[in-house]
Amino acid sequence: MPRADLHCHSTISDGVLEPADVARRASANGVELWALTDHDEVAGVAVARQVAESLNLPFLAGVEISVTWAGRTLHVVGLGIDDAHPALLDGLASIRQQRIERAQGMGQRFSDLGYPGTYEGALRVAGNPGLISRTHFARYLVQTGQFSHMQAVFDQYLKDDGAAYVPTVWPTLEEALGWIHAASGVAVIAHPGRYQYTELQFEGLFAAFKDLGGQAIEVNTGSHNPGQFQTYGDVAKHHGFLASCGSDFHGPKESRCDLGEVPSLRQDLTPVWHAPAIAARLA
Ligand code: AMP
Ligand code: MN
Ligand code: MN
Ligand code: MN
């Protein structure tokens, strides 16, 4: 089984390394199959692909799409996508527009809470001002010494019911899967262990996802603990999903799991790169 890392971020979204540097780090860390999956933007894919090719590192174009399902944010990764497909690009552009409006609202809340200039600061910290994320707010507040670490900002203000958080209704699961499939990609439910759904809701989610043509879930991810590798491996088998794995790397000092560090998938799971759409791209 190749050492695969199919989930990570660059400065095109909320990562700290440029796409080319993420490619080089993946290769240096021994990754044998790599995908760049920035939030709601594919502008890093071309450079990532070019550098990966120069390093003989097999590469898949990817994206991590923000979705609202049952009133909560859900992340759906698209792998092996055509990163020039107009329907996908239009959909992602609409999400980035929502992000800008949300960020302005969060800036206002931080101002009211006694942290003026946070929106402008977060924008300066963002490598790509067209993709503003909660991560940039947290990073700015830590870099300016107003908080000791990013988790503290999330815990105190930015978590989903935090005082500075502005809830947003992202596109539906149907829309996101529609864009991924239009772009010939494979849809993957990212880090299922992170969502606060009830057991009944999870069953509904897996059924809806499968009905819409979703094929895979992340099993081994930097966002899961080892117990969850087991749990979601069993879920994948039970529901007949392919299994994906990735570090969810954002930056050298920020992420639990570096590129290539996530343990390999259990042998009894079918890896997502066996999906015909992906196997064809790798052939
Ligand atoms: P957004 O897409 O703007 O809602 O921001 C979500 C991003 O914030 C995630 O992709 C993570 O990178 C980061 N994040 C979410 N929750 C936390 C947390 N509790 N601690 C640190 N980072 C987090
Ligand atoms: Mn992120
Ligand atoms: Mn995510
Ligand atoms: Mn991610």
Domain boundary (158, 175, 192) is at: 158
Question: Which residue, judged by its Cα, is nearest atom 13 of ligand 1?
Answer: 135
Using alpha carbons, select from 96, 94, 73, 59 the residue that is nearest to residue 190. 73
Domain membership flag for residue 36:
yes
Test site for ligand 1: of 154, 155, 159, most ligand atoms within 8 A of the Cβ: 154
Residue 283 Cα, ligand 1 centroid: separation in angstroms? 35
Ion ligand 2: residue ranges with CB closer than 5 A:
14
Domain membership flag for residue 170:
no
Test site for ligand 1: of 14, 102, 156, 157, most ligand atoms within 8 A of the Cβ: 14
Residues 63 and 77 in one domain: yes
- Cβ–Cβ under 8 Å, residues 75 and 187: no
Answering whether pTM is above 0.95, one says yes
Question: Which residue, judged by its Cα, is nearest atom 3 of ligand 1?
Answer: 133
The reported pLDDT for the residue numbered 166 is: 97
Cα–Cα distance, 164 to 168 (Å, whole number)? 13
Q: Residue 192: which CATH number?
A: 3.20.20.140
Using alpha carbons, select from 56, 46, 41 the residue that is nearest to residue 20. 46
Residues 22 and 79 in one domain: yes
The reported pLDDT for the residue numbered 283 is: 86
Residues 127 and 39 in one domain: no
**Domain of residue 72, residue span:** 4-92+183-282
How many domains is the chain built from? 2
Question: Which residue, judged by its Cα, is nearest atom 19 of ligand 1?
Answer: 154
Residues 103 and 83 in one domain: no
Domain membership flag for residue 207:
yes
Residues 83 and 189 in one domain: yes
Please list the helix, strand and coil fractions of the chain in percent, rounded to the nearest 5, in that order. 45, 15, 40
Domain membership flag for residue 167:
no
Residues 84 and 140 in one domain: no
3-state class of 89 per DSSP? helix
The reported pLDDT for the residue numbered 256 is: 87
pLDDT tens over the chain, length 283 residues = 899 999 999 999 999 999 999 999 999 999 999 999 999 999 999 999 999 999 999 999 999 999 999 999 999 999 999 999 999 999 999 999 999 999 999 999 999 999 999 999 999 999 999 999 999 999 999 999 999 999 999 999 999 999 999 999 999 999 999 999 999 999 999 999 999 999 999 999 999 999 999 999 999 999 999 999 999 999 999 999 999 999 999 999 898 899 999 999 999 999 999 999 999 999 8
Ion ligand 4: residue ranges with CB closer than 5 A:
64, 248
Domain membership flag for residue 238:
yes
Residue 127 Cα, ligand 3 centroid: separation in angstroms? 18
